[in-house]
Homo-oligomer: A and B are copies of this chain.
Amino acid sequence: MRAGPSQEDIRRHNLGALLRHVHLGGPISRAELTSKMGLNRSTIMALTSDLTAAGLVREELPRETGRAWPSLVVRPESSRVYVFAFDVGPDRIAAARVGLGGVILDRREAARDRDRFDLDELTGTLAGFARQMRRKTRNDTVCVGAAAAVSGGVRKADGVVSFGPNLQAEEVPFGEELARRLGLGLPVSVGNDANLAALAEHSRGVGVAVRDLIYLHGDVGIGGGIISGGHLIGGHDGYGGEIGHMVVNPGGRACGCGSHGCLEAEVGERTLLESAGRVADGRRGRDAVREVVEAADRGDIVAQEALSRVGDWLGLGVANLVNIFNPELVIFGGILREIYLGSAAQVRSQLALHAMAHQRERVRLRTSALGDSAPLVGAAELAFAHVLSDPLEVLARANG
């Protein structure tokens, strides 16, 4: 209930709104901006001039046009203005240089050992990746932000990774340490990987223009990102979306969290591999999950039964979420992408049994469009967020 904005606030808002159009939607003509933003042509011209002068966008004549006075096209300066995005999963870490407009310009990744967490080694490797990528850039490029997606709970108050059982992490000031190792003079924002992947699918994936969606992310565990009315459900402390620990089967399998019958315990990697009789051979991770789905596809009855059981619990979990949130879209990402594709019949049948008719009729089930890159793309969006909220100030700081 604060008062309305000042003229300066409005200019900042308009600059950010215009840049957001270009960043998320790609090249767009001044004429389209005029109509989409509800501003007159001279205001749009003034705003694009400011952003061009700051080096955030450039204006060009469109490639082909039959008109005598074609409207200039505004493009993001994707190769000049970039952020670093990082992703820390149980089995894999990745770093990317992502240009304005969301283009992944460069990328590095490495395996990690899920059974131990070594902050020094981890941040050292990621900072090394960033240095390698930075050395390859031209002199006029500018890094305007950095952010990391982490498989764990990130406390909103201070950005500390307060729990991450599948990383063996607890109370880790990950962003602070990574910022120190990067040495760019920029803070590193940190977010939960499933939350950021949900934002990524919402901004650039299968959930564009969808205001109510649920993203389920499977890796070793199961996480989630929920967008309701266009807003991510962050929760009071930042731990919103832990749908992997919804109990779907009271008295069921023991879960790493100490409870029993959680969605993660009934649907996660370990249960699928155990049920498919594939623990003895010591294989685990995404490839092992994919092998079970492929074996079921080839007619392996043990694999089929394991997948069917897992699909039943997944479907029950999705039905609960559909009743609670009335989403337009449910997205399966990470290993849940493969599991869903291998058990869609079970998932849909549980949805028919347990979701309310009106909610069920309208919901669409889809797999992630961004795949394994979703958390990384979401981290890049997090890193760009402050540029979009105040473009000129951020760029002045980065250049200065």
**In the bound complex, CA of A10 to CA of B9 (Å):** 12
Residue A395 at the chain B interface, CB threshold 8 Å = no
**In the bound complex, CA of A25 to CA of B389 (Å):** 31
Chain B residues with CB under 8 Å of A153's CB are 356, 358
Report which of B3, B162, B326 forms a contact with A242, defined as CB distance below 8 A.
B326
Binary flags per residue of A290-322, CB closer than 8 Å to B gives 1, else 0: 000000000000000000000000001001110
Residue A20 at the chain B interface, CB threshold 8 Å = yes
Minimal beta-carbon separation of A351 from chain B (angstroms): 11
Residue A254 at the chain B interface, CB threshold 8 Å = no
**In the bound complex, CA of A357 to CA of B2 (Å):** 35
Report which of B235, B241, B250 forms a contact with A212, defined as CB distance below 8 A.
B235
Closest to A163 in B: B358
Report which of B37, B236, B242 forms a contact with A2, defined as CB distance below 8 A.
B37
Chain B residues with CB under 8 Å of A67's CB are none
Chain B residues with CB under 8 Å of A247's CB are 248, 316, 319-320, 354
Minimal beta-carbon separation of A11 from chain B (angstroms): 8
Closest to A233 in B: B228
Binary flags per residue of A254-283, CB closer than 8 Å to B gives 1, else 0: 000111000000000000000000000000
Residue A166 at the chain B interface, CB threshold 8 Å = no
Contact: A240 with B17, CB < 8 Å? Answer: no
Chain B residues with CB under 8 Å of A163's CB are 356-358
**In the bound complex, CA of A13 to CA of B4 (Å):** 6
Given A229-B234, A326-B236, A20:B1 Cβ within 8 A: yes
Given A17-B2, A324-B324, A354:B237 Cβ within 8 A: no
**In the bound complex, CA of A14 to CA of B259 (Å):** 49
Residue A27 at the chain B interface, CB threshold 8 Å = no
**In the bound complex, CA of A366 to CA of B133 (Å):** 53
Residue A110 at the chain B interface, CB threshold 8 Å = no
**In the bound complex, CA of A36 to CA of B228 (Å):** 29
Report which of B229, B238, B363 forms a contact with A231, defined as CB distance below 8 A.
B229
Chain B residues with CB under 8 Å of A14's CB are 3-4
Closest to A20 in B: B1
Given A3-B38, A320-B246, A237:B326 Cβ within 8 A: yes
Contact: B17 with A10, CB < 8 Å? Answer: no
**In the bound complex, CA of A259 to CA of B325 (Å):** 17
Report which of B21, B236, B243 forms a contact with A362, defined as CB distance below 8 A.
B236
Contact: A242 with B1, CB < 8 Å? Answer: no
Closest to A238 in B: B326
**In the bound complex, CA of A212 to CA of B241 (Å):** 13
Residue A39 at the chain B interface, CB threshold 8 Å = yes
Residue A249 at the chain B interface, CB threshold 8 Å = yes
**In the bound complex, CA of A18 to CA of B20 (Å):** 31
Residue A328 at the chain B interface, CB threshold 8 Å = yes
Q: Which residues of A contact B (CB under 8 A)?
A: 1-5, 9-11, 13-14, 17, 20-21, 36-39, 43, 153, 155, 162-163, 211-212, 224, 226, 228-229, 231, 233-243, 245-250, 257-259, 316, 319-321, 323-328, 353-354, 356-359, 362-363
**Would you mind naming 22 contact pairs between A and B with Cβ atoms under 8 Å apart?**
A1-B17, A1-B20, A3-B14, A3-B17, A3-B37, A4-B5, A5-B5, A163-B356, A163-B357, A212-B235, A228-B231, A233-B233, A235-B359, A238-B326, A240-B325, A242-B356, A242-B359, A243-B324, A245-B356, A246-B323, A247-B354, A259-B319
